Amino acid sequence: MVSAVFHSPLEASAPPVTSTHSPIGKAMSKPQTEAPAAPVVSARPSAASRDFRGVWMAVLPPVLGLACLVLLWQLIASTSNSGIPKPAETWAQALEVFSDPFYSEGPNDQGIGWNVLASLQRVAIGFGLAALVGIPAGFAIGRFEFLSRMFNPLISLLRPVSPLAWLPIGLLVFKGANPAAIWTIFICSIWPMIINTAVGVQRVPQDYMNVARVLNLSEWKIVSKILFPAVLPYMLTGVRLAVGTAWLVIVAAEMLTGGVGIGFWVWDEWNNLNVKNIIIAIFVIGIVGLVLEFALIKLATAFTFEEVKN
C-alpha cells in the first residue's frame, strides 16, 4: 500500500532536517555536485617491466662474473712472469683449435673433438655399469634392514677412498689403460647412487607399506608401484651427483693412463709447454660438465614432486 503525504509550501521550502546519528541522513546531506574520487594508481610495475627485469637479472650477473674472471686473468698475465698467456692470445688460439676439432694424424695426435668424445664414451660406459649395479643395490639396502646393517659399514669404509687409488687395481686386474679408466669411473659413480636410492626407499611413508601388506601385494608390485615412483627423485639426485663425479675423475685418470681423451690431451699439451691449449681444455671441461649438470637437473626437476623440491 502506497500513501501520499502533502505539505504546505512553507514546509516544502524549508531545508530538509537530517539526523546526525542516521547514516541515511548523512548520505542524503551530501551535495549532488561532489567531484568523483581520483582513481587509485597501482604502484605495481607492468608485466613488460617485470619481464625485462627478470631477463636483466638472469643475464647481467653471469656476464659480470665472466668479466671479472677475464679481468683478473688479464691482470695476472700482465703483471707476472709466470708464462700465463693473455685472454686475447688464448682466444686466438681457441679459434685455431676449433677450426678443425676432428682432425686425426695418428693415435696420439687428434683434434680436441675426438678427445672429448673419447672421454664421454668412457664416462657413459662406466656410469652405465654403475647404474645397473648401484640402483638395484640401493633398493635392496633400503628395503631390507638386514642388508642395510650388513653393507653400511662397507660403504662407509670404501666411499671416502680417492677414485685414483682404484686405478692401479684396475690396471692390475684388466691389463689395459682403457678398461682401468672405465673401472675407476664405475667405482667412483656407484656410491652416490647406492646411498641416495637407499635413503629414498627408507623415507617412503610407512602407510604405503601398510596398504601393500593389507592388499597382499607381491615384492615386485611393491617395488614397481610403490617404491619406484616415490624413490625416483632421490634416485635422479644420485645419478646427477654420480655423473659430476665421473666427469671429474676421468680427466685425472686419462692423465695417468694415456691414450685418447681430454685428460691425456691436457697432459700432452703440458709436455709440449703449450699453456694456451691447457687453458682451452680447462674451459672445455667446465662447459661439458656444466651441460651434463644442467641436463640432469632438468631431468630430475621433471620427475620431482613439489615437496621434494622444497
pLDDT value of position 248 = 87
CA distance 151 to 162: 19
Of 171, 172, 173, 142, nearest to 155 (Cα)? 142
Neighbouring CB atoms inside 10 A of 160's CB total 7
Spatial CB neighbours of 25, under 8 Å, sequence gap ≥ 6: 18, 19
CA distance 252 to 181: 9
pLDDT value of position 116 = 92
3-state secondary structure 173-232: HHCCHHHHHHHHHHHHHHHHHHHHHHHHHHCCCHHHHHHHHHCCCCHHHHHHHHHHHHHH
pLDDT value of position 272 = 85
Of 154, 187, 194, 141, nearest to 168 (Cα)? 187
CA distance 289 to 245: 10
Torsion angle defined by CA atoms of residues 283, 285, 287 and 293, in that order, rounded to the nearest 10 degrees: -150
CA distance 197 to 85: 46
pLDDT value of position 135 = 92
pLDDT value of position 137 = 93
pLDDT value of position 124 = 92
pLDDT value of position 1 = 38
pLDDT value of position 24 = 38
275, burial (CB in 10 Å: exposed 0-12, middle 13-18, buried 19+): middle
Long-range contacts, 262-265 (Cβ 8 Å, 24+): 262/112, 262/115, 262/116, 262/118, 262/119, 263/119, 264/115, 265/112, 265/115
Q: Is the dihedral of CA 179, 98, 284, 55 positive or negative?
A: negative
The structure's pTM equals 0.72
pLDDT value of position 10 = 42
Query: Coil, strand or helix: which one is 104?
Result: strand
CA distance 129 to 189: 9
Per-residue pLDDT tens, the chain, 310 aa: give them.
Answer: 344 443 444 444 444 444 444 443 444 444 444 545 555 555 555 666 666 777 777 778 888 888 898 899 888 888 867 778 888 989 999 998 898 888 888 777 788 889 999 999 999 999 999 999 999 999 999 888 899 999 999 999 998 888 888 999 988 998 888 899 999 999 999 999 999 999 988 888 888 888 888 888 888 888 888 888 888 888 888 888 898 888 888 888 888 887 788 988 898 888 888 889 999 999 999 999 889 888 888 877 776 655 444 4
